[in-house]
Chains A and B, each alone.
Chain A
């Protein structure tokens, strides 16, 4: 099986704080990431796909098509943003990088067919927060019920 992966970098800030917990519990659970003023990361996003029309083009996907999808649906929302305040999906969701990866995967999956040629399949979204912390969503292995739970703009409006 051939997989192709494209990498994107974006800076953003977040604060880990759950309204369902007390201040003391938040401080204990999230430690320094609970700092009231937040903190920033240079995130590294990897988007991996398989399939595609390789007999014809030799490509799993057109690089420019994926670049447009990521720019329109992900970078426009996250890059240089305060994730807690600026990204609607996190109005009621703690922006752990696990949750950010799930939201990004949901956005890509939701809009995939609008940008990518038929046959290319979104396989994995990997998000590196720091050199020691990386999270990945294996989209092609996730059951449909799991994917439906990914909060997206569409589902948060309904």
Chain B
């Protein structure tokens, strides 16, 4: 997998979201700053 900021944020999301599985809390967003002028967000889709 190419380690772009997008893919890194996606992997962080997957790892954190697993930890929330047995919790009443829900992971809603991961925000990853790569540099001062670029950031990536992974946001849970609302259903």
Contacts and interface: CB of A to CB of B under 8 A. Distances in A.
A67 to B, nearest CB: 10
A1 interface: yes
Given A57-B2, A58-B1, A58-B2, A3 B41 contact: yes
Given A7-B36, A58-B7, A2 B2 contact: no
Nearest to B46: A1
A67 B26 CA distance: 35
Contacts of A1: 42-43, 45
A5 B40 contact: yes
Contacts of B1: 58
B43 to A, nearest CB: 5
Interface of B: 1-7, 9-10, 36-43, 45
Interface of A: 1-8, 54, 57-60, 63
